[in-house]
Amino acid sequence: MSNKPCKLLILISGGGSNLQSFIDQCQSGNLPATICAVISNRPQAAGLERARLANIETRVIDHTLFDSRESFDRQLMEAINSYSPDLVILAGFMRILTPGFVKHYHGRLLNIHPSLLPKYPGLNTHQRAIDAGDLEAGATVHFVTEQLDGGPPALQAVVPIARGDDADSLARRILVEEHKIYPLAARWFSEGRLTLQGNRAVLDGETLPASGFAYCGE
Ligand code: GRF
């Protein structure tokens, strides 16, 4: 990658607290990147206001106005490509993406998922971890591949499950760690240290383990 700051494009659907962590890290200089645009599939996403307050260009592409997943994804790709980003960040973007979309951004599409993948892909991750009697939960930053929440992990934060935790209290503590590990993984990518090679995430020339590269957040 050149010396130019990495151009990030961030996709959101909701509150955008992860987006805010990217904004803050870019502003403080911890993340050598610029956010070229924020796109939401929901017009009311609160994260849009966070982007506007930071003078970041915003777009809304409302998925309810499309008659198929393919046509929505085509429009989304067109919008994304008009900014020529180096890296596309899914930050609470609550849409399943089509194989064509995922292939197009192979190696430059990251997601964060609130579980210690490969455990608990999909929804209700916090409750599922509690119900299973797990002693720890967490979050995983991973490259996106066609397998839902199944792409190679780049970084994980581990959070102990406390006695008396419910899904909300656990989600709140995990979110704090998400805000640290997601910009960190993007920083590694920006510095050319983190890449996807075939189906392996590689950091500084070393293949990362398939179960994630754990960082204990607490
Ligand atoms: C986070 O928990 C993230 O892991 C999941 O959706 C949530 C988004 O939160 N994919 P926010 O919109 O970034 O606050």
Amino acid at 190: S
Is any atom of ligand 1 closer than 6 Å to the C-beta of 15? yes
Which atom of ligand 1 approaches the CA of 175 most closely?
2
On whether the CB atoms of residues 8 and 22 are closer than 8 A, the answer is yes
Q: What is the distance in A from the centroid of ligand 1 to the CA of 16? A: 7
Instruction: Show the CA angle centred on residue 81, arms to residues 78 and 86, nearest 5°.
Output: 155
Quick check: helix, strand or coil at residue 180? helix
Is any atom of ligand 1 closer than 6 Å to the C-beta of 20? no
Q: What is the distance in A from the centroid of ligand 1 to the CA of 209? A: 24
Length of the chain: 218
Which atom of ligand 1 approaches the CA of 13 most closely?
12
Q: Which residue has the least CA distance to atom 2 on ligand 1?
A: 114
For 10, the token pair is 């961030």
Is any atom of ligand 1 closer than 6 Å to the C-beta of 14? yes
Is any atom of ligand 1 closer than 6 Å to the C-beta of 196? no
Q: Which residue has the least CA distance to atom 10 on ligand 1?
A: 92
Is any atom of ligand 1 closer than 6 Å to the C-beta of 150? no
pLDDT tens by residue, 71-113 = 999 999 999 999 999 999 999 999 999 999 999 999 999 999 9
Give the C-alpha separation, 26 to 184, whole Å.
Answer: 11
Is any atom of ligand 1 closer than 6 Å to the C-beta of 92? yes
Q: Residue 132 pairs with which residues in a beta bridge?
A: none
Q: Which of 104, 113, 126, 179 is catalytic?
A: 113
Q: Which residue has the least CA distance to atom 6 on ligand 1?
A: 92
113 catalytic? Reply is yes
Give the C-alpha separation, 27 to 31, whole Å.
Answer: 8
Candidates 76, 139, 79; CA nearest to 111 is 139
Give the C-alpha separation, 66 to 151, whole Å.
Answer: 27
pLDDT at position 2 is 57
- Residues in the chain, pLDDT under 50: none
Strand stretches in 25-166, DSSP E = 33-40, 58-60, 87-90, 109-113, 136-143, 153-160
Strand stretches in the chain, DSSP E = 6-12, 33-40, 58-60, 87-90, 109-113, 136-143, 153-160, 194-197, 200-203, 206-207, 214-216
